[in-house]
Amino acid sequence: MEILNYAFMQRALLAAVLVGITAPAIGIYLVQRRQALMGDGIGHVAMTGVGLGFLLSWSPVWMATLVSVLGAVLMELIRWYGKTRGDIALAMLFYGGMAGGVMFINLAPGGSNANLTSYLFGSLSTVSESDVTAICLLAAFVVLVTVGLRRQLFAVSQDEEFARVTGLPVRALNLLTAVTAAVTVTVAMRVVGLLLVSALMVVPVAAAQQLTRSFAATFAIAVALGVGATTGGTVTSYYQDVPPGATIVLLTIGAFIALSVLAAPLARRRARALAAAQPAADPAECKIPATRGAADEVGV
Amino acid sequence: MSDESVISLRGVRAELGSRPVLRGIDLTVRRGQVVALLGANGSGKSTAVRTVIGQVPVTDGEIELFGTPRRRFRDWARVGYVPQRTTAAGGVPATVTEVVSSGRLSRARFGVLRKADHEAVRRALDLVGMADRAKDSVNALSGGQHQRVLIARALAAEPDLLIMDEPMAGVDLASQEVLAETLRGQVAAGTTVLLVLHELGPLEPLIDRAVVLRDGCVLHDGPPPEAVGQHALPGHDHVHPHAPAGAEPIRTGLLS
């Protein structure tokens, strides 16, 4: 394993594993509440943070975290108070975030869109020592929330109205989900890039559901697929000289297709088992009487 | 039956998108009572129960739960709620047990379910006859079975008060009977029940009082209205006034 002899590859692999865990871990709740594209929206907003980081010469990772957390909270508040149509307001936030990023980075001394590219599509090999520290801290927060509060987040994402009647702090949990998603976006930014972050949040979950019946199993398989794809993509990019972000995303989509194909016979077998368990409850086929009498005539 | 009021609404008004839906509702449900909230579509009956649970904000009036103003009410484990069944399930598969377990969270500290909690979930599933489907995905269930799961979820916390929004809507006959039987057991054990219903149907024998709403006002509050003529017979035909002229009435096939 000569790949592990290089410090930059050690950092890259550590970052990849953490992203493989965190992105599907929060993504599953977004998919459950049918906000699969929220990660994409936050990714656009984070661009303004990266731009501001360059302009003010602060760490782009921490600046992106700050701005995307604010953006995610704003999205949640728009959803809550919903005066304007939700989707229009979100579109403004997405494109405003992207335009802001391009604007700020061009205003920054010596800045150009070239700086932005490493954040848009990821740049694993340039992950620095301080980036790794930031990624570790943020990933620990994401895991703590998504695993520690899994029952509460499940209940709120499954049925918000019911969750309120169990006395859960629904609004606080929604904000926490949004903030955690924003943190995950900035964790994944250096690995797969802002434009592909959402894929890693959604596709492993979609792939896992092809096989599963329970939320717990979906969570476990999605995280396993996420880690497999990020490490596999990182190693492949080292040997084959291909961009890691794109490789990782294509691997997850490959897993989705493979599992969909595998799942078809599995689903058929389950359906048969279910039918066998409930005999004669409802006949599988319609019965047509052999002879028709006058009573079957229908007036027109 | 004591005089302690479990739900109390006084002069409650509510708006949905600046359209007044409730125009000053008074409603009291006492301990052990089974009250049906009846009315046509748009009469405000669902909105009324949703103000009780705090899902719809009130613009005027007072709501009390177990004698505490709703704003300060925290003892949610005493309330079991069955929302109007929506066809949209979550975007991720979940088993029957996982869904019913979330009903126990109100009794669990920090969201940690102990052995007693898992047993309560199991009992709730037994009550609605879904214990054999505990490990199945809720997406694989029929409408009636899904409704039974939602009722088990409400029962998992072993509540003193059940609030149900149209529990019989779109439920097959077999499930309707299981639900009526479950409810009978709960009522016998002293649970207070507030039901939103489109028609009294198979639950009629259980109901102590009916409150009929029209245009956001209480029209009738007293014993359930007696069904007369053919309507008194179970399985009578439903003739829908908006059906195109000449259309056949919907035959339930139980009267012939």
- State how far the Cα of A153 lies from the Cα of A174, in Å rounded to an integer: 8
Highest mean pLDDT among A276-285, B46-55, B167-176, B239-248: B46-55
Contact check, Cβ <8 Å, A167/B81 = no
Nearest to B105 among A155, A157, A216 (CB): A155
* B96 has a pLDDT exceeding 90: yes
Average pLDDT estimate for A108-133: 81
Q: Is A77 exposed, middle or buried (0-12, 13-18, 19+ CB in 10 A)?
A: middle
Contact status, residue A190 vs residue A135, Cβ threshold 8 Å: yes
In degrees, rounded to 5, the angle at the alpha carbon of residue A261 between the alpha carbons of residues A256 and A262 is 95
Q: Do B80 and B136 share a structural domain?
A: yes
Across the strands, what pairs with B210? B36, B222
Q: Do B153 and B35 share a structural domain?
A: yes
Q: What is the reported pLDDT for B256?
A: 40
- Number of domains into which chain B is organized: 2
Write the DSSP symbol of residue B225. Answer: P
ipTM of the complex in this document: 0.82
Structural fold of domain A2-195? ABC transporter involved in vitamin B12 uptake, BtuC (1.10.3470)
> Which of the four pLDDT bands, split at 50, 70 and 90, describes residue B3?
low
Closest C-alpha among A12, A32, A21, A145 to residue B93: A32
Q: Which of A181-185, A269-273, B193-197, B246-250 has the lowest mean pLDDT?
A: B246-250
For the segment A194-239, what is each residue's pLDDT rounded down to a tens digit? 888 899 999 999 999 999 999 999 999 999 999 999 999 999 998 9
Contact status, residue B28 vs residue B55, Cβ threshold 8 Å: no
Average pLDDT estimate for B92-104: 93
For the segment B18-68, what is each residue's pLDDT rounded down to a tens digit? 888 888 889 999 998 999 999 888 888 889 998 998 888 889 989 999 989
A59 touches chain B (CB under 8 A): no
Q: Do B168 and B74 share a structural domain?
A: yes
Amino acid (1-letter code) at residue A285 = E
Q: What is the reported pLDDT for B216?
A: 85
What is the domain range of residue B213?
A: 5-225
A287 touches chain B (CB under 8 A): no
Cα separation values, B51 from B48, B59, B83, B151, B161, Å: 5, 10, 13, 20, 15
Q: Do B246 and B207 share a structural domain?
A: no
- State how far the Cα of A74 lies from the Cα of B183, in Å rounded to an integer: 43
Cα separation values, A147 from A78, A140, A163, A200, Å: 27, 11, 18, 18
Q: Do B235 and B181 share a structural domain?
A: no
Q: Do B245 and B154 share a structural domain?
A: no
Q: Which of A42-56, A74-88, A270-284 has the lowest mean pLDDT?
A: A270-284
Average pLDDT estimate for B125-153: 89
Which of A173, A214, A300 would you mutate first to test chain B, the one with the most B CBs within 10 A? A214
For the segment A96-116, what is each residue's pLDDT rounded down to a tens digit? 999 999 899 888 887 777 778
